[in-house]
A = this chain, B = another copy of it.
């Protein structure tokens, strides 16, 4: 399989969203320059990104079929085969993810939650059963869950990751605000809100100090 960079992989859902809007508006063909212009990428990058996942080159005059592009990206991203996942830690953030309707269309099927809180265990959240975290070893293999979504507090994260991996999780989607490690052969993806906020805050302070100087 071709090697895709993280930045490149992150662009495909953004292309997909745009192509679906085009389809909804009855637009059947689109050229790379137009895509580049709309999404703020270079034309070179758009051509490379789309070429990498489809066999079919665009036609210089007419562009590419929007329907084919949608099909290529959905197939590439695995949106047409569901992967089973569980959420570990069902506080505000975990609860929001249990209820995030867009995941269904992305091939992610969240089948259950796990929590330590005895008041939550045995209840339903967004239609999904919440189990005691003590039952991870018993239930993860039976649920055949490939992905564990980690939403516990920072201090508990590594312990929960270790357990999920031990009982068969092959992918860890970590939302806990801390650094965790996984063994070889397990895939780790972090959603670090602190890191995202750091980027925003830094650029904001640069922008604000630039404006002050102009005055």
Q: Is A134 located at the chain interface by the 8 A CB criterion?
A: no
Question: Is the pair A185, B205 in contact by a Cβ cutoff of 8 Å?
Answer: no
Stretch of A1-9, A54-62, A136-144 at the chain-chain interface: A1-9
Classify the interface of chain A: helix, strand, loop or mixed: helix
Tell me the minimal C-beta distance from A97 to chain B in angstroms. Answer: 8
Interface bits A86-116 vs B (CB < 8 Å: 1, else 0): 0000011101100110110011100000000
Which of the residues B78, B100, B146, B211 comes within 8 Å of A93, measured between beta carbons? Answer: B100
Q: List the B residue with the shortest CB-CB distance to A202.
A: B9
Question: Is the pair B12, A198 in contact by a Cβ cutoff of 8 Å?
Answer: yes
Which of the residues B91, B192, B200 comes within 8 Å of A189, measured between beta carbons? Answer: B200
- What residues of chain B lie closer than 8 Å to A78, measured between beta carbons? 201-202, 205
Question: Is the pair B194, A13 in contact by a Cβ cutoff of 8 Å?
Answer: yes
Which of the residues B9, B191, B201 comes within 8 Å of A191, measured between beta carbons? Answer: B191
Q: Is A25 located at the chain interface by the 8 A CB criterion?
A: no
Q: Is A48 located at the chain interface by the 8 A CB criterion?
A: no
Stretch of A26-34, A63-71, A160-168, A172-180 at the chain-chain interface: A172-180
Question: Is the pair A83, B201 in contact by a Cβ cutoff of 8 Å?
Answer: yes
Q: Can you spell out 7 A-B residue pairs with CB atoms less than 8 angstroms apart?
A: A13-B198, A18-B179, A76-B202, A91-B96, A93-B100, A108-B197, A187-B203
